[in-house]
Structure 1
């Protein structure tokens, strides 16, 4: 009688299963365009403001929350490096930084504020799988944080491009005054601390007090009896 072990069932390698699931967590340009993403009134101003505030380098993601007037009320920049882009990982990273800079709006019946994502990378401004994973992550993170899903913008060495809209322009030039910001940063009237510089008032010139007049040696001295005693200068013999 021979004992042996039955061969294990043929199971596809986990890499192929993970790859299929990962591909399902990305959006293509046609899906993004049909999702009803609100258009930015002035994307150039939004891109220039975020670029000047965070100074992104390749592989830097900037998530910003806009109010109804398209003013940036909160923003955060971070670097997310991964060999295989996965929308699930990007969604988790976006949620972590959103929760640090702004409270959620889940109690509202309808979202009021909008989240946009600016991603700096190398290459051409055409759609890539990494862009599709970021789109999926942004849409899911907005749903879980009570925000409207806004534009996804790529920033390449030469230009910026709003994917799904066709609008773009030249890459902004860095300002020579402000310093780069890499940590999460809040902005807005309720979060911005206004620095007020008050000019020092010119002080009145210091005027020296008048010196007391020197006593007149020719004046008479009063003695204890009240009679004046004249100064007598006696020449030495």
Structure 2
């Protein structure tokens, strides 16, 4: 009888990198365009008043109107798509029932992530993109836009649409987890 040699354990960093998406992969994924990104970003900003390290998951109906949204703090842990996905699922479950019984998704989830730093893509953005795509699949939603909000303004990744306002305000208290809105 032959016993298989145990597999070498993967390092935490290696498994974290497996749960990420590169910008080209995101752009090629066929993510539906936001019809009016400035209106959506401005509306979510006005509703949630996010600070750095705040994520806002929003669900848009078939008409691209906001159906539900929730904001929550990212925490101080290393960027990990698995943990981000679980946080997104938790927030989606709080604000909207799943659409798993439908043959085809009719609602779209998008993510607005507020952070300090430059507006370009980061490894953390890749983890959020992976998390959004996976959470949408598990909740029966279409995967929508991933938008970052920095001190320089907002940017829709994969579409390269952007604007200067609104922008992240630096300073002040950190976000409170679980700010769900309908």
TM-score if structure 1 supplies the norm length? 0.68
Q: Secondary structure at the match of 2:179?
A: coil
Q: Secondary structure at the match of 1:153?
A: strand
Q: Could you tell me which runs of 5 or more consecutive residues in structure 2 were left unpaired when the two chains were aligned.
A: 1-6, 169-174
Give the root-mean-square deviation of aligned CA atoms.
2.0
Structure 1 residue ranges (4+ consecutive) displaced by more than 6 angstroms after TM superposition? none
Bigger fraction of residues in helix: 2
Task: Report if aligned partners of 1:139, 1:149 keep a CA contact under 8 Å in 2.
Answer: yes
Question: 1:92 aligns to what?
Answer: 86
Aligned residues: 170
CA distance in 2, matches of 1:137, 1:18: 17
TM-score if structure 2 supplies the norm length? 0.88
Question: Are 1:78 and 2:72 an aligned pair?
Answer: yes
**158, 181, 185: which one pairs with 2:181?**
185
Q: Which of the pair has more CA radius of gyration? A: 1
CA distance in 2, matches of 1:82, 1:142: 24
Q: Could you tell me which runs of 5 or more consecutive residues in structure 1 were left unpaired when the two chains were aligned.
A: 1-10, 175-179, 187-237
Question: 1:157 aligns to what?
Answer: 151
Deviation at 1:171, TM superposition (A): 2.4
Deviation at 1:70, TM superposition (A): 1.0
The Cα offsets for residues 170-190 of structure 1, whole Å up to 9 and x where unpaired, read as: 12279xxxxx9971011xxxx
The Cα offsets for residues 14-50 of structure 1, whole Å up to 9 and x where unpaired, read as: 6x61111110100010000111100011000000000
| Greater relative contact order, per chain length (Cα 8 Å cut-off, separation 6+) | 2
